[in-house]
Structure 1
Amino acid sequence: MNSETLSFDNITDLMLRLGLPAPLHPLIMLVNYDEERMSMADAGKWFDLGFYKISFKESFSGSVQYGPGQYDFKNGGLAFLAPRQTVMMSGAPEDHTGYALFFHSELLQRHSLSQTIHRYGFFAMQSLKLCSCQKRKKE
């Protein structure tokens, strides 16, 4: 795998690099992996994001390298990334389901959340950011 780090300060540049459409608003984007297929040309590279990312994955057959650990999403899960945290993803685009919400910290300006978001442990590098999901029985 390639250990190159790609740095993105805005959501538009990341989306274009992944072969996805540019966001309708430059500070926020929701990607539905069931409708959008991203390019995997950069699989194995580290991504340094200058914005927040919250992912909900129903299933994923690959793994995610995050900080010092490697995590799998075989049962689905949630992942939380704060600006300037790095993540390396491997896998094929057809393995992805679920959603990813990208938002820039500028979106929170003039809101009290901009002063307190750093207190939430799920965005802190020291804590486990991945929450495993169990399959629910469908009725």
Structure 2
Amino acid sequence: MDNIRRFETIHDYNIFNNNETRHPLISVVDLSKAHPRQGSRMYFGFYTIFLKEVKCGDLVYGRNIYDYQEGTLVFLAPGQIAGVNSRGETYQPRGYALVFHPDLLHSTTLGKQIRTYTFFSYQSNEALHLSEREKHIVLDCFSKIEYELEHAIDKHSKKLIVSTIELFLNYCTRFYERQFITREKVHHGMVERFEALLNEYFLSDKPAIIGLPTVAYCANALNISPGYFGDLIKKETGKSAQEYMQLKVIEVAKERIFDISKSVSQIADELGFKYPQHFTRLFKQRVGQTPQAYRTLN
């Protein structure tokens, strides 16, 4: 697992898996065509989606292990490193990988929207677990792309291929929303843990030392990726994680404002604001009054 295999192009990855390159920017890779191999770490210079079909060791992302079983999807954005830890054993890959280069999306609607599919930034324990019906839909999308790749490229090819990728990603968005509900036990108490984390944060001296809490800080403290964390909080509360934290800051600020021994600037500093005017602006935006006016009128 020490050496990293680098795949900069779609053709590189096709060669590694004994698949034919029909298009330089996209491929539906049949992993069963690959030779048996041992686990290794891999760098991908393109979007990669794995559909796993068989047990073949743990899929590792960074230092974490994916919650990766048969019938699951894992999404990697360009520049990410992942790999299989087969514990030194040789295994036969199974399943499929949809790989496409960012250049394929240039001048397309999907190219402008690809960053909205936040599951490309999900990490450990956040793979998409498919039902049998969902798996059939995924394979149908792959089949439609494969159909286009088997035919000569014409003026319709790119539009049809990219629109099918977009359809596939939109289905995955729906499937993830379903998973947030059906895996409620796994996610049980996440909002409560988030609330407790914020309470603890503002009772400590961390705001004055390191500033306001960030989504990345909270996600790391809760052992979840920022993307998955943000989507889960949005699903559970109807608010973004950032908005939820801002409301918490205002809630704490309202309590502290009535301590007349402290100036508004001191309170802003205690809450983690770098500049008092930023605190005043946010408070007025959320409450409708400046902190000083709120202190005086209430």
Distance 2:105 2:124 in 1: 23
CA contact (8 A) 2:67 2:126 kept: no
| 1:69 matched to 2:70 | no
CA contact (8 A) 2:17 2:29 kept: no
TM-score (norm 1): 0.77
After TM superposition, give the deviation of residue 88 of structure 1 in Å: 1.2
Distance 1:127 1:65 in 2: 8
Which of residues 95, 99, 112 is equivalent to 1:98? 95
Which of residues 114, 117, 131 is equivalent to 1:117? 114
After TM superposition, give the deviation of residue 76 of structure 1 in Å: 2.4
CA contact (8 A) 2:46 2:77 kept: yes
Distance 2:124 2:91 in 1: 27
Paired position in structure 1 for 2:22: 24
Larger helix proportion of the pair: 2
Distance 2:111 2:126 in 1: 20
- The number of residues matched between the two structures is 130
Amino acid at match of 1:90: N
Q: Which structure is larger by alpha-carbon Rg, 1 or 2? A: 2
In structure 2, runs of 5+ residues without a counterpart are: 134-298
Larger strand proportion of the pair: 1
TM-score (norm 2): 0.39
Distance 2:20 2:129 in 1: 30
Paired position in structure 2 for 1:131: 128
Amino acid at match of 1:56: L
Distance 1:44 1:69 in 2: 15
Distance 1:57 1:126 in 2: 16
Q: CA RMSD in A?
A: 2.5
In structure 1, runs of 5+ residues without a counterpart are: none
